[in-house]
Structure 1
Amino acid sequence: MYLFGTTTYYMDTLKKFFLTFIYIIPLFVHGQDSTKTHYTLEECIALALKNNADAQKSASSTSLAKVDLNQAKARLLPTIDGYLSHGINTGLVTDPITNTNISQNISSGSQQLSASLTLFNGLNRLRTIRQQAYAYEAYQNDEQRVKDNLTMDVILAYLQVITARDILEQTKQQRDVTQKQVERLTTLNNDGAADPGEFYDMQGQYSGDQLAVLTAANTLKSNIVILTQLLNIPYADELSFEAIDQIPSASTDMMDSETLYQHAATSLGILKAAELSKKSAIYGLKATRSLYFPTLSLGAGLDSRYSNSTTGRGTYWDQVQDNLGKGASLTLSIPILGGLQRRMDVARAKIYLHNAEIDLENAKNNLQQQSAQVLFNLQTAKEKYQEQQKQVEAYKESFRIAEVQFEAGAINSVEYLQQKNKYDQANIGLTVTQYEWQLRQRIANYYNGDR
């Protein structure tokens, strides 16, 4: 008894440990994934393609199109059906073997096996296979279109986060510069050597700089929330993102819009999806028209019966073999009048094809226009950055001179703050134009097929 109780105790303990291990390990692994707080742009793109709901739904639509294609192929196979029944009857019944009425309790049954194969139906099934094959490819390319759009959305959101972070750092630096002047004027004011107007002007500027820091911090958090929505991950204050320091080369040759359009038509999924959808609609119309033709089918079957109403007929298996019947048939079905259903189906298929042609033409025009716009935006972003650089250099020197003059008492606080604000705004503008150029270059590269 003691040994049995001890064994039971250890078995229960081992069981509890095993169950704890099963439940805790997945949580630990999940916790390891959830502890990641620092991301690069490439990691964000990969995470969005994996987690984003739109990307997942698009992949599911592609899988359903694959199922439809397999189903269309399976319709070429013959159909085989089996039937087996067994019953007990009492009173006046019909003997299934002799087909005579008898009055006794009998046990009887029947067995059937039938097969059917469509030999010809106006090529409907073959054309349906082509229709579903093109539809499947169209869904694949539409899935790629969703991923392309998601990738560009992530790049935009990521660069907005980086821009907001850099602007926050600049506003903090600008506030710190003002703070030093406030501290210097506070010391002079305590000694009675400062102009009160300049002292309070500088304090007002410092409060404005503090507000700018708060606004920039809020903008950064809002942009991170937008990015996490695309990545489908929880927001956390600890999230951080790798900086992008590379500036596109100003000497990069600008390609023409027609070349970019041709590359985009090859690399992006939007135009391919529209072209394949049109081909699918063409074969959908052909498959629908083929329903006007007769259908020729080949059929074959086996059937047998069993009854215990009369002795001497042998066992169940003996009766199945003795009563076995075989048959084959050719069936020609000719459509004559079906409530004009086929005519309506053809009319509907024509409309689907017409819509697909409109979608294709619209996709070509949109892609051509977008390709041209991408290059316009890229050229403008590059020129804005170059001009902003010149402005920053000019205001940097003017602010340096104003700072020296203000500390020497040669200019008042109004003039000093005007120069400081110009320099601060120029630096913020440089950050914005820098990442705008980066964004436009990446979009152009994506249209060009560079991933």
Structure 2
Amino acid sequence: MKRICSIIFFLLTISFVKAQSKLTLRQAIEMGIANNIDVNKADLSSQQAHITMQQSKLSMLPNVNASANYGINSGRTNDPITNAFINQNINSSNYGITANVTLFNGLALQNDIKSNALAYEASKMELQQSKDNLTINIILAYLNVLSAEDLLQNARLQEEATRRQVDIDSLKNAAGSISPSDYYTLKGQLGTDQLNIADNVASIAVAKLSLAQLLNIPYSDSLEVERLSEDVFNLYYEADPSKIYDTALQQFAQIKAVHFRTESAEKYVRALQGQLYPTLSLNGSIGSNYSSAITNSILLNSQDVASNDYVIVNGSQIPVMTKQNTYNTEKVSFGTQFNNNLSKYVGLGLSIPIFNGARARSRVRTAKIQFKVTQLVEQNTKTLLQQSIEQAYVNFKNTSNKYSILLDQVQSFTESFKAAQAKFDAGAITSDIYLIAKNNLNATNINLIVSKYNFVLRAKILDYYKGKSLW
């Protein structure tokens, strides 16, 4: 059902994207999660863990089994019911139901249930972690598209400004009012600006391709993404690495996953230790059987007849009379035999492990080692998380400072370019000086575009560790 829902969601999303001009960040993330193979594999692993947990719970219930056997014997054989030898065809059958339930086995079943339940919780957190990792990658690809589009827009503005200046200076050059070197320097700059446009167009295609591949959809030049709100570029962002780490310990899916794995391993050790104790079980059965050879003799009549024996009375032989009974033989019905042969049994069974090649104890020792491994993995995961948060915080601060500086620098170079433009138009400076001011502004704008989207990404990474929504 989940797979069907994912397919329906994918088709609806594709239809929606085609109908709508631009893809939002939220739509991109949801589409990527629905289509990603690794996420779907993690989801299937979680479903398997859920089945294992359910099966361990069902192991607490009694085992009930029914049996039925039917056979045909011919020739001289023994009646399976009476054990008497007979020489005829016999149809026989037997039926039974057996049941047993474990009353005590050192709490092995209970601890196995707890172990599998914790493993299932860990699988759900690992599924969430897989989704979170993919979300970060999609955000990065999405921001790369926006950044490439902004760089293309900046390159076009630069090319447009240079073209206007070339058009103006071409007239001046024809009139001989400016130096030809100034004019051809500007024409060379126009070619450079056009190359920058071509490079940025290619960069957009590469960025869109990367995004489409993450979303697992066919690449299309018509793919457009929605612009982000200006609020996300706000320099004010509260970030304290120690507070972020404390929050992550409580909310981060990866931390929860390794913690559940550790607890699951501990319960598994106890489950195996329970197998070292005696097992007490309650057993019961009920059964019956049938044979076509079973018959009943029904008395029809009785009469006195003379036997071969006699007595002498007064010298005469007087025959001895005896009773002679006449019977009618008929087969016993199935229902009557079933009721007559019905048997029941109830008993307690005790199994005491004495020696089994020390396999049970070896499994316990192995499980204890695995438990220690999971403890080390959990400890190492927390350490790596703290280091990652500290690194993310340092990267964010550096990016934030650079972004702030570039905002001021763009304003300064904008004013510088305006002054250079006025002087160049007045013929007070050469094209070389004019282009230096223009290229300084262009380079700063490029750095600002890259920096502001890097700032957003670094902020999103901190939000990720905080457990906040990333869109």
Partner of 1:228: 212
1:119-170 deviation digits (Å, cap 9, x = unpaired): 1111100010111111111112222222222222222221111111111111
Which of the numbers 369, 375, 382 marks the counterpart of 1:357?
375
Which of the numbers 313, 327, 348 marks the counterpart of 1:330?
348
Q: Name the amino acid aligned to 1:332.
A: L
Q: In the alignment, is the contact (CA less than 8 A) between 2:53 and 2:117 conserved in 1?
A: yes
Distance 1:67 1:316, change over 3 A: same
Q: Name the amino acid aligned to 1:382.
A: S
Q: Distance in 2 between matches of 1:333 and 1:181?
A: 98
Instruction: Note the aligned Cα RMSD (angstroms).
Output: 2.3
Q: Distance in 2 between matches of 1:351 and 1:446?
A: 33
Q: Distance in 2 between matches of 1:78 and 1:421?
A: 82
Q: In the alignment, is the contact (CA less than 8 A) between 1:248 and 1:441 conserved in 2?
A: no
Q: Name the amino acid aligned to 1:60.
A: L
Identity of aligned residues (%): 35
Q: Offset at 1:33?
A: 3.9
Q: Distance in 1 between matches of 2:277 and 2:123?
A: 30
1:376-403 deviation digits (Å, cap 9, x = unpaired): 2222222111110121112112222222
Q: Name the amino acid aligned to 1:386.
A: S
Q: Distance in 2 between matches of 1:329 and 1:447?
A: 58
Q: Offset at 1:271?
A: 1.0
Q: Distance in 2 between matches of 1:192 and 1:201?
A: 16
Counterparts of residues 174-253 of structure 1 (less than 5 Å) = 174-244=158-228, 245-252=230-237
Which deviates more, 386-395 or 225-234? 225-234
**SS of aligned partner of 1:403:** helix
Which of the numbers 320, 326, 332 marks the counterpart of 2:338?
320
Partner of 1:12: none
Q: Offset at 1:190?
A: 4.2
Distance 1:27 1:242, change over 3 A: closer
Runs of 4+ in 1 over 6 A off after TM superposition: 25-31
Structure with the higher fraction of residues in strand conformation: 2
Counterparts of residues 33-432 of structure 1 (less than 5 Å) = 33=16, 35-36=18-19, 37-244=21-228, 245-252=230-237, 254-311=238-295, 312-432=330-450
Q: Offset at 1:212?
A: 1.1
Q: Distance in 2 between matches of 1:448 and 1:302?
A: 62
Structure 2 stretches of 5 or more lacking a match?
A: 1-7, 296-329
TM-score (ref. length: structure 2): 0.85
Q: In the alignment, is the contact (CA less than 8 A) between 2:99 and 2:283 conserved in 1?
A: yes
Partner of 1:10: none
Q: Offset at 1:436?
A: 1.6
Q: Name the amino acid aligned to 1:35.
A: K
Q: Name the amino acid aligned to 1:433.
A: S
Q: In the alignment, is the contact (CA less than 8 A) between 1:144 and 1:268 conserved in 2?
A: no
1:388-435 deviation digits (Å, cap 9, x = unpaired): 012111211222222222233332222222222111110111111112
Q: Distance in 2 between matches of 1:348 and 1:333?
A: 24
Structure with the higher fraction of residues in helix conformation: 1
Q: Offset at 1:313?
A: 4.3
Which of the numbers 455, 460, 469 marks the counterpart of 1:437?
455
Q: In the alignment, is the contact (CA less than 8 A) between 1:157 and 1:223 conserved in 2?
A: yes
Larger Rg over CA atoms: 2
Q: In the alignment, is the contact (CA less than 8 A) between 2:17 and 2:23 conserved in 1?
A: no
Structure 1 stretches of 5 or more lacking a match?
A: 1-24
Partner of 2:5: none
Distance 1:159 1:189, change over 3 A: same
Q: Distance in 2 between matches of 1:176 and 1:118?
A: 84
Q: In the alignment, is the contact (CA less than 8 A) between 2:102 and 2:279 conserved in 1?
A: yes
Distance 1:126 1:31, change over 3 A: closer
Q: Distance in 1 between matches of 2:142 and 2:13?
A: 25
Q: Distance in 1 between matches of 2:206 and 2:83?
A: 85
Q: Offset at 1:373?
A: 2.1
Corresponding residue pairs, total = 426
